[in-house]
Each structure stands twice: as C-alpha cells, then as structure tokens.
C-alpha cells in the first residue's frame, strides 16, 4: 500500500526516500520520472517511479541486497 497509496509521501522517511543525483530520475516509457527507494528489509530494496499523470507506480528494480550503486 505504501507504493500505491502514498509513493511520494513517506510515512517512515528512513525507509522511503527519493534517490539523489543521477539516480534521482529515470526514463520510463519515454518520460522522465522521479525515482524513489523503499527499504523492505535491512538489505532489500524496491526502486520505483511514481507517474502522477497516469496514476501508476512503476517498479523498476527490486533486490534482496543493498544496491552498491547508492553507496
């Protein structure tokens, strides 16, 4: 529900935040969207891009380990 009901309004900012720098946006279907991260477990992450115009949240990556690219 976090990703579908409030993808850009974190209830717990330590687990859900917009990515920064070059990771802060992503091209999805020809549109540049904000890219966010949700920490599911201490290592598991979901990267997603909310699309407010289409009212869709695109899941663009998910993994069970902390992504090294964000370090």
> What is the predicted pLDDT for the residue at 71?
59
DSSP of 19-60: --GGGGEEEETTEEEE-EEEE-SSS-EEEEEEETTTTEEEEE
54 near 37, Cβ under 8 Å?
no
**Please, which residues bridge with residue 55 across strands?**
none
Tokens of 69: 């690219």
> What is the Rg, in whole angstroms, of the alpha carbon atoms belonging to the chain?
11
Enter the pTM of the model.
0.86
Tokens of 68: 């090294």
Q: Per-residue pLDDT tens, the chain, 71 aa: give them.
A: 778 888 998 989 999 999 999 999 999 999 999 999 999 887 889 999 999 999 999 999 998 876 666 65
């Amino acid at each position: 529900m976090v990703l579908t009901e409030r993808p850009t309004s974190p209830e717990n900012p330590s687990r859900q935040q917009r990515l920064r720098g070059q990771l802060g946006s992503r091209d999805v279907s020809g549109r540049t969207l904000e890219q966010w991260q949700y920490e599911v477990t201490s290592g598991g992450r979901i990267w997603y891009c909310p699309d407010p115009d289409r009212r869709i949240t695109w899941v663009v990556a998910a993994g069970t380990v902390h992504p090294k690219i964000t370090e």
